[in-house]
Chains A and B, each alone.
Chain A
Amino acid sequence: MLLFRPAAYAAALCTFAFMHGPACAQQKEFEGTKIVVNGFGGNLDDVLVDSVSKVLKDRYGITVEIVPGSVASAYAKLMTSRSNPAFDVLITDDITLRSATKAGLIDEVSVADVPNMAQLYPNFMPLGGYGLPFFASVTALTYNKEHVKTPPQALSDLANPELKGRVGIFNLESVGGVVSLISLAEANGGSIRNLDPGFAKLKEIAPNLATATSSPVELYNLLQRGEIWASSFWSGRVNALIDQGVPLGIVVPKEGLRGNLDFVSLVKSTKARGAALKFMDQITSAQTSLAIARSVYFGPTNKTVTLPPDIEKRVLPYGAEMIAAMPPVDWDEVAGKRGSWIERWNREMR
């Protein structure tokens, strides 16, 4: 977006590049360009900085600025600054991607623009070039091995009286909560259009609930401290906790492994289109996919990634068969109906 005192910049880059080999007498392709992306904060941002920002800086001279904040606030920012967008690349989740597309905030890209697009799993791209997935995460059952005598095998097992007051789950403000509800409904004779069985199961679990929250960090903290002993939580986070020594077990629930994706999209009327496309290409590359899987145990979306044996079993979802077997989620339906589902939840849980 802004040009950044090119001369001084070029000098600094040349020194850096000189130390790493190739001659740098020529200018980098996008020398001095800056792009802005919305970020997550924390470890995931660190991975993006290492695998994407640094590479773009070295190779093309692009500066990437990651702005912390929620996906919803990023959406709101774009809605109010269309002619002079606050971001060049937008990172979204399943639901916001659809809202952003409908609102005309993002542009479609093709394989010609982003070569790595050809390497992505096709059934991870429901909106085609409007949003390219760069990681997948699933909610799995987790339980504390020290305290729970009968490990839950299904989401509905969270209603087990042994777990009274020790269960923490996502509420419907989180996509994690939404997919759990859908799974519960479908496993008990319902569907995404008939959620009654799902809500009925939730009511059974309700007496065991310590909390139902939208904050992943709160569940993380509660699991870490042993305040809650069972949850349906992002498998990547559970793996991180296991690495820290928390005695957790992961179970693929009987209701199936559903998940969600995070996408990267090109913002319409961005002034740094070329640089933005390079960002999208790098973030969907096998290299970044692998780095994300290593660091936060989220599933790679790039078909060509082979995970090393030490983490292969721990990363979910992984592998063509597992991914093909994941029950689909009609996110359009979710986007349209979630408001009323949240209201129903509020009514039933109060």
Chain B
Amino acid sequence: MGRFATRIAWSRNIYLLGLLTPAVAAVMLILSIPVAWLVRISLFPQDQSYDLSGWSAVHYMKALTDDLYLESLARTTIYSLIVTLGTAILGFPLGYAAARGKMRRWKIFFIVLPLTLSLIVNIFGWIMILGQNGLLNSVLLSLHLLDHPKQFLFGVGTVLVVLGHTYLPFQILSVMSVVRQIDPMLEEASASLRGNRWVTFWRVIIPLARPGIVAGCTIVFILTISAFIIPQLIGGASVQMYAVLVFQQMMTVLNWPFGSALSLILLVVALGFAALLRAAAGRSGGLRSVVAK
């Protein structure tokens, strides 16, 4: 940017401001009150929602020292990492193939399809597939792979699979939109320089597509860690993801101060991960990382 930067620095800053203002102003305006309210409520000492006064950090103390909540937070984070990793591994090849391969129209349809299914309906669908009287059991029984129906519903594994299934399209779309922009010439150039497939893959494609992978992982992680409807309905009794606990406090027990404290902790963890991921991936992903070498 060199010489241009110095010459037009001043007007650049105005430009920068102009670009950012609508989005930032909107978010700050619309979110400021909810978040401020959240913070204030989390600092009330009471345990209910109708008569609140005073200041206290007692709920944070509890959330951060009580093993029920700490364990849930740790588990939820690990589950989210697993789902993120799983969708990244599956999503990349699918996204790549969708960007480059044939039948793109149909692939996009199938990718967007699960996203149109309302959560509740999606869950009923899974009950029909995984239940003891469901599709999977019928198929396995008729193939004689099982001699009596097995319970596939309700349990950590199922929740992770369903979460992964629900959020996989986000990964695929992220990767796809980025790979579409990569000039196929780069890959062919690498191939023609006698680089074998793996070299091309690791040295050219992945670094180029990295921003897409990072974007996809960020979104999937955040969505998974705040998921509460799916874990609640498919998890059975023993899966207690963090956001479910938040929901319990806010909507069932109506203990808004404690629920708000839990929410803020969740917020910090999620945004922290996003920041970490961006830092680890390095801002110099994309074209520069390949061309600059």
**Residues on A facing B (Cβ under 8 Å):** 70, 72-73, 75-76, 79, 96, 99, 102-104, 165, 171, 173, 206, 209-215, 218, 221-222, 225-227, 338-339, 342-343, 346-347, 349-350
Q: Give the contacting residue for B51; candidates A103, A349, A350; CB below 8 A.
A: A103
B71 surroundings in chain A (CB, below 8 A)? 350
- Interface flags, B117-147, vs A, CB<8A=1, else 0: 0000000100110011110000000000000
A213 to B234, CA, bound (A): 9
Q: Contact at B248–A102, with CB atoms within 8 Å? A: no
The answer, yes or no, to whether B236 is at the interface (CB within 8 Å) is: yes
Q: Contact at A211–B154, with CB atoms within 8 Å? A: yes
The answer, yes or no, to whether B249 is at the interface (CB within 8 Å) is: yes
**Residues on B facing A (Cβ under 8 Å):** 47-51, 68, 71, 124, 127-128, 131-134, 151, 153-154, 232-233, 236-238, 240, 245, 248-249, 251-255, 258
B127 surroundings in chain A (CB, below 8 A)? 218, 221-222, 225, 227
A213 to B153, CA, bound (A): 13
Would you list the 5 A-B pairs with minimal beta carbon distance, nearest first? A103-B50, A212-B237, A339-B253, A72-B251, A211-B236
Q: Contact at A338–B252, with CB atoms within 8 Å? A: yes
A79 surroundings in chain B (CB, below 8 A)? 49-50
New A-B contacts (15) at CB < 8 Å, excluding given A99-B49, A222-B131, A342-B253: A70-B251, A72-B251, A99-B254, A103-B49, A103-B51, A104-B50, A210-B153, A211-B153, A212-B237, A215-B233, A221-B127, A227-B127, A342-B248, A342-B252, A350-B71
A146 to B151, CA, bound (A): 19
A343 surroundings in chain B (CB, below 8 A)? 68
Nearest A residue to B236 by beta-carbon distance? A211
B151 surroundings in chain A (CB, below 8 A)? 165, 210
Nearest B residue to A101 by beta-carbon distance? B50
Q: How far is the CB of B198 from chain A (nearest CB, A)?
A: 43
Q: Contact at B50–A227, with CB atoms within 8 Å? A: no
Nearest A residue to B37 by beta-carbon distance? A80
Most buried by B among A79, A214, A226: A214
Nearest B residue to A165 by beta-carbon distance? B151
A171 to B235, CA, bound (A): 12
Nearest B residue to A75 by beta-carbon distance? B254
Q: Contact at B133–A225, with CB atoms within 8 Å? A: yes
Q: Give the contacting residue for A209; candidates B233, B236, B254; CB below 8 A.
A: B236
A212 surroundings in chain B (CB, below 8 A)? 236-237
A342 surroundings in chain B (CB, below 8 A)? 248, 252-253
Q: Contact at A349–B238, with CB atoms within 8 Å? A: yes
Q: Contact at A214–B232, with CB atoms within 8 Å? A: yes
A191 to B240, CA, bound (A): 27
Nearest B residue to A105 by beta-carbon distance? B50
Q: Contact at B240–A350, with CB atoms within 8 Å? A: yes
Q: Contact at A102–B51, with CB atoms within 8 Å? A: yes
Q: Pull 13 A–B residue pairs with CB atoms less than 8 Å apart, ordered by A.
A: A96-B254, A102-B51, A103-B51, A225-B128, A227-B131, A338-B253, A339-B47, A339-B253, A339-B255, A339-B258, A342-B253, A349-B237, A350-B240
Task: Tell whether A227 pairs with B133 under 8 Å between CB atoms, given A72-B252, A173-B252, A211-B154.
Answer: yes
A213 surroundings in chain B (CB, below 8 A)? 232-233
A72 to B247, CA, bound (A): 11
Task: Tell whether A350 pairs with B238 under 8 Å between CB atoms, given A73-B251, A214-B252.
Answer: yes
A225 to B130, CA, bound (A): 12
Q: How far is the CB of A57 from chain B (nearest CB, A)?
A: 31
Q: How far is the CB of B54 from chain A (nearest CB, A)?
A: 17
A350 to B268, CA, bound (A): 25
B240 surroundings in chain A (CB, below 8 A)? 346, 350
Q: How far is the CB of A110 from chain B (nearest CB, A)?
A: 24
B47 surroundings in chain A (CB, below 8 A)? 339
Most buried by A among B47, B128, B153, B251: B251
Q: How far is the CB of B35 from chain A (nearest CB, A)?
A: 15
A342 to B254, CA, bound (A): 12
Q: Contact at A226–B133, with CB atoms within 8 Å? A: yes
A214 to B252, CA, bound (A): 10
A221 to B154, CA, bound (A): 14
A294 to B243, CA, bound (A): 39
Q: How far is the CB of A235 from chain B (nearest CB, A)?
A: 23
A209 surroundings in chain B (CB, below 8 A)? 236-237
Q: Contact at B233–A218, with CB atoms within 8 Å? A: yes
Q: How far is the CB of A85 from chain B (nearest CB, A)?
A: 15
Q: How far is the CB of A246 from chain B (nearest CB, A)?
A: 12
Q: How far is the CB of B202 from chain A (nearest CB, A)?
A: 41
Nearest A residue to B124 by beta-carbon distance? A221
Q: Contact at B68–A211, with CB atoms within 8 Å? A: no
Q: How far is the CB of B69 from chain A (nearest CB, A)?
A: 9
Task: Tell whether A225 pairs with B131 under 8 Å between CB atoms, given A173-B252, A349-B238.
Answer: yes
Q: Contact at B237–A206, with CB atoms within 8 Å? A: yes
B254 surroundings in chain A (CB, below 8 A)? 72, 75, 96, 99
A338 surroundings in chain B (CB, below 8 A)? 252-253
A99 to B254, CA, bound (A): 9
A214 surroundings in chain B (CB, below 8 A)? 232, 252
A215 surroundings in chain B (CB, below 8 A)? 232-233
Nearest B residue to A174 by beta-carbon distance? B252
Q: Contact at B248–A173, with CB atoms within 8 Å? A: yes
B258 surroundings in chain A (CB, below 8 A)? 339
A225 surroundings in chain B (CB, below 8 A)? 127-128, 131, 133
